[in-house]
């Protein structure tokens, strides 16, 4: 084979540029920390990467939805417990007020306390999270309960809000004031109790005691359904954070370089490049002319 200076020069140039290209690739991987910079680096992984990222983002959103719902339901749970104990207190007051040994003054005093309990219940019914009333159904922007003398009006609606906590799994938020207060006739009952106390109508008072029990039962059943929802959310929440961890991990495996591996490769490639530079300097030595007198 006939070898000319240009043959060698071209070879050297080609090899140097190949080595430099490889070096550049490793360096850009190292500086970006990513295996895949453009789809053609690995089309299949790119597609998986995009899918993983979007699943991860969706799960993060579900996770936010869960946190949001959890905050509300925990609050609703506390409020319902408070309602429940308030009702117990009301029942106690009713039982006491039914006693023959009480004077009418005493009954007035009890009626006064009961009045305050009613106000307290209205307040509980108007619980809000930064201005968002949780017992108003869809009508969350204004207080659902309003007391005008001896009438308590419900201004909410009968729609139960819900939130998506994982793909196509919708969980109800707080129960509506309609089911809590209106359907159970809570306020009607308590106000009639108050009036009975004021009137000293003991039969009527005794009558109401049984009704309060029924109402309490209804609140309890709401409470247990709330508890069931909360534990379901808790489960999903754990699942979701597991999933997020898993996907983050998978994503990192697909997307991120193994630093040790790349650094090692980089060193090897640097050595190759240096070797090729040395080889080049030898190969490109001058010709016969340098040795002629």
Contacting residues toward other proteins, per CB under 8 A: 1-7, 10-11, 14, 36, 38-44, 46-47, 49-51, 53-54, 57-58, 60-61, 64-65, 68-69, 131-133, 136-141, 157, 159, 161-164, 255, 287-289, 292
Q: Kindly state the smallest distance separating residue 96's Cβ from other proteins, in Å.
A: 40
Q: Which one, 18 or 271, has the nearer CB to other proteins?
A: 18
Q: Which one, 109 or 283, has the nearer CB to other proteins?
A: 283
Structure tokens at 190: 């308590």
Q: Which of 228, 240, 237, 238 lies closest to 77 in space, CA to CA?
A: 228
Structure tokens at 203: 């039969």
Judging by DSSP bridges, how do beta strands 169-172 and 162-166 pair with one another?
antiparallel
Contacts of 115 (CB under 8 A, 6+ apart): 194
- DSSP category for residue 160: P
Q: Kindly state the smallest distance separating residue 100's Cβ from other proteins, in Å.
A: 49
Q: Kindly state the smallest distance separating residue 134's Cβ from other proteins, in Å.
A: 9
Q: Which one, 41 or 258, has the nearer CB to other proteins?
A: 41
Kindly list the distances between the CA atom of residue 56 and the CA atoms of 36, 67, 229, in Å, as whole numbers in the listed order. 18, 16, 24
Alpha carbons 122 and 91: distance in angstroms, whole number: 17
Q: Kindly state the smallest distance separating residue 153's Cβ from other proteins, in Å.
A: 16
Angle formed by the axes of helices 104-125 and 186-199, to 10°? 160
Q: Kindly state the smallest distance separating residue 278's Cβ from other proteins, in Å.
A: 22
- DSSP category for residue 141: S
Q: Which of 253, 233, 221, 281 lies closest to 56 in space, CA to CA?
A: 253
Q: Which one, 36 or 152, has the nearer CB to other proteins?
A: 36
3-state secondary structure of 270: helix
Q: Kindly state the smallest distance separating residue 86's Cβ from other proteins, in Å.
A: 25
Q: Which one, 36 or 208, has the nearer CB to other proteins?
A: 36
Q: Which one, 147 or 155, has the nearer CB to other proteins?
A: 155
**What is the H or E stretch that residue 172 is in?**
strand 169-172
Q: Kindly state the smallest distance separating residue 29's Cβ from other proteins, in Å.
A: 14
Q: Phi/psi at 189 (nearest 5 deg)?
A: -60, -50
Q: Which one, 69 or 152, has the nearer CB to other proteins?
A: 69
Alpha carbons 75 and 226: distance in angstroms, whole number: 11
Q: Which one, 97 or 156, has the nearer CB to other proteins?
A: 156
Q: Kindly state the smallest distance separating residue 25's Cβ from other proteins, in Å.
A: 12
Contacts of 213 (CB under 8 A, 6+ apart): 91
Q: Which residue(s) pair with 162 in the sheet? A: 172
């Amino acid at each position: 084979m006939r070898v000319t200076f240009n043959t060698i020069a071209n070879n050297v140039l080609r090899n140097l540029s190949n080595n430099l290209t490889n070096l550049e690739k490793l360096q850009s991987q190292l500086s970006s920390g990513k295996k895949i910079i453009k789809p053609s680096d690995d089309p299949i992984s790119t597609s998986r990467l995009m899918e993983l990222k979007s699943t991860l983002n969706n799960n993060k959103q579900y996770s936010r939805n869960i946190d949001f719902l959890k905050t509300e339901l925990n609050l609703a749970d506390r409020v319902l417990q408070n309602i429940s104990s308030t009702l117990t207190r009301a029942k106690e007051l009713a039982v006491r007020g039914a006693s023959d040994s009480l004077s009418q003054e005493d009954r007035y005093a009890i009626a006064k306390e009961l009045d305050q309990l009613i106000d307290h219940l209205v307040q509980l019914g108007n619980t809000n999270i930064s201005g968002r009333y949780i017992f108003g159904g869809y009508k969350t922007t204004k207080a659902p309960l309003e007391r005008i003398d001896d009438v308590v009006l419900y201004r909410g609606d009968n729609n139960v809000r819900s939130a998506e906590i994982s793909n196509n799994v919708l969980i109800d938020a707080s129960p509506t004031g309609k089911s809590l207060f209106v359907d159970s006739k809570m306020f009607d009952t308590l106000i009639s109790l108050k009036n009975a106390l004021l009137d000293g109508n003991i039969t009527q008072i005794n009558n109401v005691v049984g009704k309060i029990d029924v109402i309490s039962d209804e609140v309890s059943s709401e409470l247990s359904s709330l508890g069931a929802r909360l534990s379901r959310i808790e489960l999903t929440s754990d699942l979701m954070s597991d999933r997020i961890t898993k996907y983050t991990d998978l994503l990192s495996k697909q997307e991120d370089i193994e630093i040790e591996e790349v650094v090692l490769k980089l060193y090897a490639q640097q050595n190759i490049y240096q070797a090729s530079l040395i080889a080049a300097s030898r190969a490109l030595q001058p010709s016969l002319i340098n040795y002629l007198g």
